[in-house]
Amino acid sequence: MAMKAAAIVTLPLTSNKPLHSLSHLNLSKPKPLPTFLISASSSSMSIETTPVKESTPLFLEQRASKFLHFVKYQGLGNDFILVDNLDSLEPKVTPEQAAKLCDRNFGVGADGVIFAMPGVNGTDYSMRIFNSDGSEPEMCGNGIRCYARFITELEDLKGKKSFTIHTGAGLIVPEIKDDGKVRVDMGQPILTASDVPTKLVATTDQAVVGAPLEVNGVTWNVTCVSMGNPHCITFGTNECQVGLLVHVELSRAKLESNLELCTCLIHNCDWFLMLFEIIAKKRRLTLALGQSLQVDDLNLSDVGPKFENHEVFPSRTNTEFVQVLSRSHLKMRVWERGAGATLACGTGACAVVVAAVLEGRSERSCTVDLPGGPLEIEWKEEDNHIYMTGPAEVVFYGSAPL
């Protein structure tokens, strides 16, 4: 039976050797392996070893140029093949090869291939990425955290905690924190409709905020944000957003009205909600807001592509479906342009907080739950920049034939 290797991998279980040499993989000079002579009968089986000559050809003895050395990282389950490309601004693999490498059945398996390249325009480094379908996005939030961890080990930057990276979305500045997490200055969000880009008509100051969008016969309310790459954020359809349940818990002391407990169902009345918030402060009431959209119930593989390829998004779009748990806690699922459903999307989490703030649903600092885990997102008023903090970890080291 003929067999073809998709990749040779080394799992980082006990080794702490640096990544910059990858010498511990021994890919260029494999040791000769013994062969076995096996004989068996109905009653017994014997095994004899036979020495192998040094000249015996092995598949690992092919020229190194036929293999791509890489390190696989993941950020909250969003996984990437990281490639040392510091000697050139030209990627070592083509988009077609990247798509094959990302295939989870016939390749290494990943959401994208990221290239660490030399800096341009005064930056320390440059980054390019090919999605699992071979397309090239401007940037990737989870990918940039993986990139930062890769660079620190690749360049052995023990004393340096922060550096500058040129991306298709502009300048990105990651910082490695003491706990190993990566905090990234993601820059300022882009809200002007034509720059996102989207053909939707602006609703406020040239931005698309809470605008209706018909997708497959259903009207969704969407906000459009660019983090250097386009995002369409929705908190639900017209039908599911009208249900806002307000529970009012009164203190033991009777109020002037002598009410003990009331539960009010409010339909599409933002001013009413504001009134209740004022009353809550004055009478020490507690409000619990229930959001009707349940993101876990979505058929993402059905609705996601319809958003991604909608005619109002000339460059296609990433789409985030959001459930509000509180004003500082959001939950989202994402359909990524060129990658489909993924466990996490860093730029998407940033865009979600921007949209939630613009729609009056959250504070500027939020925990955003994704299928792969939480990200901490802050949209600072002082500089209008968005800061993302989250993990990035090595999965394995490897080499794959091209």
Is 224 assigned a catalytic role?
Answer: no
- Whether residue 197 is preceded by a cis peptide bond, meaning omega within 30 degrees of 0, is yes
Give the type of residue at 335.
Answer: W
Q: What are phi and psi of 368, to 5 degrees?
A: -115, 115
Catalytic hit among 102, 146, 224, 345: 345
Query: What CA dihedral angle connects 331, 389, 387 and 221, to 10 degrees?
Result: -10
Give me 87's structure tokens.
């000697």
**Coil, helix or strand at residue 218:** strand
- Written as six digits, the tokens of 8 are 């040779």
Judge whether 140 counts as a catalytic residue.
Answer: yes
Considering only the C-alpha atoms of the chain, give the largest distance between any 2 of them, rounded to a whole number of Å.
96
Separation between Cα atoms, residue 148 and residue 71, nearest integer Å:
13
Name the catalytic one among 140, 232, 350, 366. 140
Which is it for the CA torsion 354, 358, 363, 368, positive or negative? Answer: negative
Query: Kindly report the CA angle at 49 between 44 and 55, in degrees rounded to 5?
Result: 150
Task: State both tokens at 102.
Answer: 């990302």
CB 188 within 8 A of CB 385: yes
Of 300, 305, 308, 273, whose CA–CA distance to 371 is shortest? Answer: 300
- Locate 366 and state its tokens: 């939020």
Between CA 110 and CA 349 the distance in angstroms is 20
CB neighbours of residue 146 within 10 Å: 29
* Residue closest to 355 by CA, chosen among 209, 186, 185: 209
Residues whose CB falls within 8 Å of the CB of residue 252, separated by 6 or more in sequence, listed in order:
none
Q: How far apart are the C-alpha atoms of 98 and 132, rounded to whole Å?
A: 7
Backbone angles phi, psi at 61, to 5 degrees: -85, 5
Amino acid identity, residue 192?
T
DSSP state, residue 24: G
Q: Looking at the annotation, which residues are catalytic?
A: 140, 345
